[in-house]
Chains A and B, each alone.
Chain A
Amino acid sequence: MYISLAGFRGPDHASPDQAGPDHASPDRADSAPGPDHATPHPGPRSGRTVAFRVAPTVVALGMVSLLTDVSSESVAAVLPLYVTGALGLSMVAYGFLEGLHQGVSAVVRIAAGYAADRTDRPKAIAVAGYGLSMLTRAGLLIVQGFVGIAVLVGIDRVGKGIRTAPRDAMIQEVSQPQHLARSFGVHRMLDTIGATIGPLLAFVVLLLVPEGYRVVFAVSLAAALIGVAALILFVPNVRFSRATTPTSTTTPAAPVPEAAETSPAVRPRTLRSRASRSGSPRRQRWRTLDGPLKRLLVAAGVLGLLTVGDGFIYLAIMSHGHLDPLWFPLLFVGTNGVFLLLAIPVGRIADRTSRAAVLIGGHLFLAGAYLAAAMGGSWIALGLALLMLGIFYAATDGVLAALAGQLSPQGRTATGIGAAQTVVAVTRLVASTGFGALWVLFGAVPTMVGAAVVLVLVLPLAWWLVVRR
């Protein structure tokens, strides 16, 4: 069984002999899926096994993400040092500018996803996002003042917001449906490698060139440039729609009668020709968020409200007081290491069993990480916390994108993925703020244990929302 979500689509799932809801192709059973092959996903419980072959486009997108993460994380690692050391400003000024960008980035995600679906040019949108971030690197080399830097950081986040959903939708589109989560795992592994290399590279540069912050920015620009070049050269113009096959018989994702009433312009996708692909649907797009995807979003939101962020877990570990603060930056490296090692294997498990179950079950490890952080400052507790946090990311980050893409109606993949990521980003921000208050009131250990308990108690609800048939 490749997924237990087959019955998920409810009313949209019109007839049993139809292709999977995401992909309408009449020849699904006969076509041999290959890499980059937009095979419809097989019917539920088809039991058919297909050898995993990672799509070249996924690898290309992974390399683009790797280079971009090297670019952004190297800057992030030295920016505070640059602002204080080279510009002579205190971080107080920096702190007041933070927080503003977060909301913008979250909203941009869903908007960019929508735009990618609407235009059916996810690559173009992604290029715009990656390119915008690249331009901010060039800006860092020129801009002197603090305000300029703050603006550039803001624009960079917008770029990040723009590129994420179209990129994940492309991954979804070109991956073998049977191995969707594993394909996302490949991408997330490469992405995390970049995020780990970035800061290390930056510190190496500073070691070679004292106070060479601008050299770090130059390295960052070079990495971004190569990344964008790789994106343009090696990622094809992925199109979402399966409408190229005129024989396709899929029902539109939204109930037809209602659609016809509210917006006559919306035609069933199957009737859309290639030429009209980028034109038709209007507000109808927002129906994307209905049905099974809505249940996923609700579940992701509820779980997001109980995901308090790495910072707190590290802080709880440090609060036991046995660990030198010098170790602090290395905790991130530890979590990243586990994440990148397990991204593919866990994705594979998700594909073989149930993505929804892995997504929900992955939160057990988050609860475990909370408990380990509360346990004490021993090396065992520390190791356990980092390990479980890494597993949590491996089980949720790519898997959520895979699930959201899979549950989105045809042609609305990017919107669906963007919506899921927005929900998670916003609820986690809320969680951190609320959690902070509890932390002060009750202390680190009771709050951690409490969060773990509530999380475990909420999991059945999330399970019921997402995994039930």
Chain B
Amino acid sequence: MRIVLIKRAEHSRLMTGLSPVIAVALTMLSAALLFAIAGHDAGLALYKFFIEPMTDLWSLQELLVKAVPLVLIACGLSICYLSNNWNIGAEGQFVMGALAGSVLPVLFPAFDNGLTLPLMLLFGAAGGALYALVPAVLKIRFNTNEILVSLMLVYVANLTLDYLVRGPWRDPAGFNFPETALFSASAMLPTIGDGRLSVSLYAAIAVAILLSLLLARTLKGFEIRVLGESPRAGSFAGFSQKRMTVFAFMVSGGLAGLAGIMEVAGSLGQLQPTISPGYGFTAIIVAFLGRLNPLAIVVAGFVLALSYIGGESVQASMGISDKIASVVQGMLLFFVLACDTLILYRIKLQFGQTAKGGHAHV
């Protein structure tokens, strides 16, 4: 048997909508298989992983807390990937945003007024954007591979954070714990309700709406998609690939940085040696599951947040390692990519004799 791809004349609209759904279904099926192999009740585990986190208010709120950074980062990444710029260092930009945004509350705790928070957000976005500018500039100036550079900078950012919270930024009154001092109230985002969910939720939704408008309705959005789909046609249209690289990296870095500072000023309240459970990488999966469409990314962000909470849920109730979460996330991306093939191709299975003979049968 072999698999033959038959190219469709045009993109399948049906499959464009359906492929992420199929991918999620296949992921759940594989997860069930994994649970069963590990000797657990697959049905129960699936329920605990995918359904239970949505049944009570507390975990729903936790879902949103996790979904917000994912959506913010993934929205930015969608601009990058649509324009064929491979920023995979959002994790580093997230951390750098958090660091830049924390300069005020950590180093200038006396500057404590109504301007603190807006300035922190601004610094956070700027920090992420500038950090993302490094791979962008090296790419357009020296033709350097942006994938590798942006990824290397993740390690550098994490080490920088580690250095700061263990060294100069450590809370002097913190019993030698590697943490900064807790932020003051005016350096914290207002919360929605009384839990950990902050108004960053509104920011994520607003960003998604704005970017989807940008992509669907404006010339800039057209430019992004043209340069991604066909760089040569983009240059024929008079669009500059280099400027687009800078634009896409700055937008995605800025949003990742914003997500970073919002995480710190929202749910954490201080800097710690680790401030992200891999949001920057998981957001890559979110972006692809949302088919690089900002509105769909909101839904996708929720699905991936579910995998984090689901992992904790099966660990707490069934003793399954919460490492299962990252396995599920990895599988999901595989299935998403595989199912996207259906958008451009029809898949035909060929059985029986094939033309693999190699020699003429005289």
Do A and B bind? no
On A, residues with C-beta under 8 Å from B are none
